[in-house]
Structure 1
Amino acid sequence: MIYGIGTDICDLRRLRATLDRRGERFAEKVLGPHELAVFRVRRARVEARGLSFLGTRFAAKEAFSKAIGLGMRMPMTWRACEIVNAASGKPEILLHGELAEWFAAKGLRAHVTVTDETEYAAAFVVVETI
């Protein structure tokens, strides 16, 4: 049974402006440890790839927060929710700490998809009861 659905779109031009103003501190606020490592590698190779990665993760976390009905309030935090890739490349949601405990206690499972284009990144999340 579907518990919630969330979607979000991120304007990469606004994200770029935020990175220009705040530097990597913004990425460190939004990304978890696994994501931050990938972001740094991608950004070092090609700036636009790092920006797209950050945008898809930002959008996915916003979509997830909507799907679980909490928005960005406890136990939902930027860094407690990570979007990681399975070996196949499929994006998956990895939760930490209080958010992981809350999610498990409710008996939920999440599915996420992300996409990006030159100026936008988007994500769609479906959360279901197990």
Structure 2
Amino acid sequence: MIYGIGNDICDLRRIRASLERHGDRLAAKLLGDQELVIWRQRRERWPERGLRYLATRFSAKEAFSKAIGLGMRMPMTWRHCEILNLPSGQPAVVLHGSLKEWFDARGLRAHVTLSDESDYAASFVVVEQHNPRYTP
């Protein structure tokens, strides 16, 4: 059963301007530990690739927060939600801490897709409920 759907589009120019203003602090605020490692590697090799990585993760987390119906309210936090890639390359939502507990208690599962083109990054998230007996 579909629990929620979320989407987001992010202007890369906005992320670029924020990075110029705030530097690495922006990435440290938005990315989880595993994402930070990947972001630093990509940014080091090619700064534009690092920017696109940060923008797609920002967009996916916004879409995820909409799909679960919380927005950016506890237990949803930037760092408790990571968008990582499976060995196949498929993006996956990986949760931590109280957000993972909240999500698992409801029997939820998320599917995410990411895109970036020219000046934009876009994401779409579908959250399924596998335990339809749970009622909020």
TM-score (norm. length: structure 1): 0.99
| Structure 1 residue ranges (4+ consecutive) displaced by more than 2 angstroms after TM superposition | none
Equivalent residue for 1:62?
Answer: 62
- Between the aligned partners of 1:118 and 1:96, the Cα distance in structure 2 is 32
Q: Percent identity?
A: 68
Return the offset for 1:117. Answer: 1.1
Q: Give unmatched runs, 5+ long, in structure 2.
A: 131-136
- Between the aligned partners of 2:118 and 2:27, the Cα distance in structure 1 is 19
Equivalent residue for 1:39?
Answer: 39
Equivalent residue for 1:123?
Answer: 123
Equivalent residue for 1:112?
Answer: 112
- Between the aligned partners of 2:117 and 2:88, the Cα distance in structure 1 is 21
Indicate the structure (1 or 2) with the bigger Cα radius of gyration: 2
Equivalent residue for 2:15?
Answer: 15
- Between the aligned partners of 1:86 and 1:61, the Cα distance in structure 2 is 17
- Between the aligned partners of 1:76 and 1:67, the Cα distance in structure 2 is 11
Question: In structure 2, the residue corresponding to 1:73 is in which secondary structure?
Answer: coil
CA RMSD of aligned residues (A): 0.4
CA offset digits 1:79-103 (Å, max 9, x no partner): 0000000000000000000000000
Question: In structure 2, the residue corresponding to 1:70 is in which secondary structure?
Answer: coil
- Between the aligned partners of 1:53 and 1:9, the Cα distance in structure 2 is 14
TM-score (norm. length: structure 2): 0.95
- Between the aligned partners of 1:3 and 1:93, the Cα distance in structure 2 is 15
- Between the aligned partners of 2:99 and 2:72, the Cα distance in structure 1 is 11
Aligned residue identity for 1:97: G
Question: In structure 2, the residue corresponding to 1:74 is in which secondary structure?
Answer: coil
Equivalent residue for 2:30?
Answer: 30
